[in-house]
């Protein structure tokens, strides 16, 4: 009986010790709130429409999305303005999913703001100056659509 009681006490002590260890672990990194991709046309284009499979040429500027900042623009992380425009094949997975989905349907001459949730951006990995789980905001101008 003493042996059984000792075993129970030792087992209970180990269980409490393990539970205490789990409480001291660092909290998981915060994830950005989830929301759907937002497409806000600021200028409606009148030229050719961007469709899947076409090569599109755009100028863009990207910021970290900060909901409490003016216009939700946090730190700017990239821009093609002042450099060569950026081109990619729409729908081919050459860019983040938020761009493949967000640029489709634009017409040449159009300008669109994309508010991209982390899941359609760089997700839990982040990249370069973009931290993991960052929501993003882009101003995109469609310059050309090539077949």
Q: Are 53 and 91 in contact (CB under 8 A)?
A: yes
| Class of the CATH-defined domain 38-146 | alpha beta
- In this prediction, residue 33 has a pLDDT band, given cuts at 50, 70 and 90, of low
Give the model confidence (pLDDT) of 48-100 as tens digits: 999 999 999 999 999 999 999 988 999 999 999 999 999 999 999 999 999 99
Q: What is the mean pLDDT of the chain?
A: 84
DSSP the chain: -HHHHHHHHHHHHHHHHHHHHHHTSPPPPP-PPP---EEEEEE---SPBP-TTSEEEEEEEEEEE-TTSGGGEEEEEEE-TTSPPEEEETTTTSS-HHHHHHHTT-BTT-EEEEEE-GGGTTTTT-BTTB-TT--EEEEEEEEEEE-
Which tokens in the block code for residue 108?
């040449």
Question: pTM of the full predicted structure?
Answer: 0.77
Give the pLDDT confidence score for residue 18 in this predicted structure.
Answer: 38
């Amino acid at each position: 009986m003493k042996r059984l009681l000792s075993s129970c006490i030792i087992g209970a002590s180990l269980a409490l010790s393990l539970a205490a260890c789990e409480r001291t672990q660092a909290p998981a990194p915060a994830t950005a709130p989830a929301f759907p991709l937002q497409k806000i046309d600021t200028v409606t284009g009148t030229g050719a429409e961007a469709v899947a499979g076409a090569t599109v040429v755009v100028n863009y500027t990207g910021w970290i999305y900060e909901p409490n900042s003016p216009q939700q623009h946090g730190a700017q992380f990239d821009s093609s303005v002042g450099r060569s425009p950026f081109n990619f094949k729409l729908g081919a997975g050459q860019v983040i999913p938020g761009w493949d989905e967000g640029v489709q349907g634009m017409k040449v001459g159009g300008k669109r703001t994309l508010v991209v949730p982390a899941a359609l951006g760089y997700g839990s990995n982040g990249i370069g100056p973009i931290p993991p789980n960052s929501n993003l905001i882009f101003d995109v101008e469609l310059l050309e659509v090539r077949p």
